[in-house]
Structure formats: C-alpha cells, structure tokens
Amino acid sequence: MKRAAFAALGLSGVLASCNVTVVDPVDPVRNFRLLSYQSQYTLPADYTDTRTGTVYPKGTSIICDNLSTRLGVTLDWDGTINEVSARLQGRDTGTTRTVSSNPLGDRYSAKPSTFEFVVGPNTAPLSIGQKGLSAQDIVVTPVRTFTVKGATFVDVQARSSDGTVTPLRQSVQALPVADCTL
C-alpha cells in the first residue's frame, strides 16, 4: 500500500513539473480591415444633410437610387479568405441587405484587394443586384444633380474555407442615397 501511495505521489510530482501549454488553432484569416469604400457616382458639390447635420464634401461617394450603382470596397487581411460579404444598412431605417461573393478559393492577401458589387435602381439600401462581389476597377462619375433620400452604411465581413468568420468591419460614414441625373 505504501509503495502505491509513493508511486502515485511520485507520478503527481513528475506531471506537476511538466509545462503544458494549450495552443489555440491559428485563425486562417487575421487582421481583416476595411480600408476604403467608393461609389461609381460622386457629389458634384458640397451637401449638408438637414436631418443629421452631416456635411458631405464635393466628390463624396453616393448611391444613385434611380440608377444601378457600382460600389467598391478595398480590404486587407492576413491569411486566406474564401468569401467576402457586403452589407448595406439604412442609416435611418436600420434595414439591411447582404450580398456575398462566389467562393474565392482561399485567396491570400499580400496587398489590399478591391471587391465590387452593384446596387440596383430603386432598391438602395434595401437590396443588392445579382452580380455579387468581384475584383474590378470603378470608373468614378460625378452626377449633375441629385436629391438625397437617405443614407446607408457599407459593412464587410469575410469567411475562410474552414468556416471562420471575421468580425464585421463597419464603414465610418453612411453614403448618401439620392435620385441623380448624369
């Protein structure tokens, strides 16, 4: 009996002297950042939103609600992503719609990448066109006239192929939503 007690005590001492470190698995995507967002259309002059007092300077990106509007988001991350999602959230209504890219095949980021999607006419910020997200260059066009109807935030999130989801990255300022003429 004494031998068994000493053996158990000795084994406990040996186990206690081991330094065991539990390591979390490495996230396949880290440091996911929304660097910028840009619309195909921009304001031709400074505009002050009378509801919020927000001043939008000439050249600010806008969503033209009466036209299809291309929006681009520039992202950066460490690791790999398999899908990017963009969410439009109405500033005044809180209503949201989300569009996601097709699978990207574990796309690695060695530099910032821009993804583009289309907001269909008469739907902002309530729905997004079927084009989805793709890597594109947006040609910026100032509108001639505009009537602001509201504003929407552009938020993004990514998913890795193992299902890891990044935190939602929110736009700093809501984009005006307006009826526009070119």
The predicted-structure confidence for 82-97, as pLDDT tens digits, reads as follows 999 999 999 888 888 8
Residue 28: how many CB atoms within 10 A of its CB?
Answer: 19
At residue 181, the pLDDT reads 95
Indicate the pTM of the whole model.
Answer: 0.75
d(CA 98, CA 108): 23
Helix (H, G, I), strand (E, B) or coil at 110: coil
113-127, 137-151, 161-175: lowest mean pLDDT where? 113-127
97-139 residue pLDDT tens: 888 888 888 888 878 888 888 888 877 654 444 445 555 568 8
pLDDT band at 169 (very low <50, low <70, confident <90, very high): very high
15-59: per-residue pLDDT in tens? 344 443 333 345 678 999 999 999 999 999 999 988 889 899 999
Residue type, 6: F
How high is the pLDDT of residue 49? 87
Which residues does 68 contact at the CB level (< 8 Å), separation at least 6? 118, 119, 120, 121, 129
Is pLDDT of 167 > 60? yes
Type of residue numbered 83: E
Q: Residue 125: is the preceding peptide bond cis (ω within 30°)?
A: yes
Neighbouring CB atoms inside 10 A of 78's CB total: 14
Structure tokens at 128: 């997004």
Confidence bin at 81 (pLDDT 50/70/90): very high
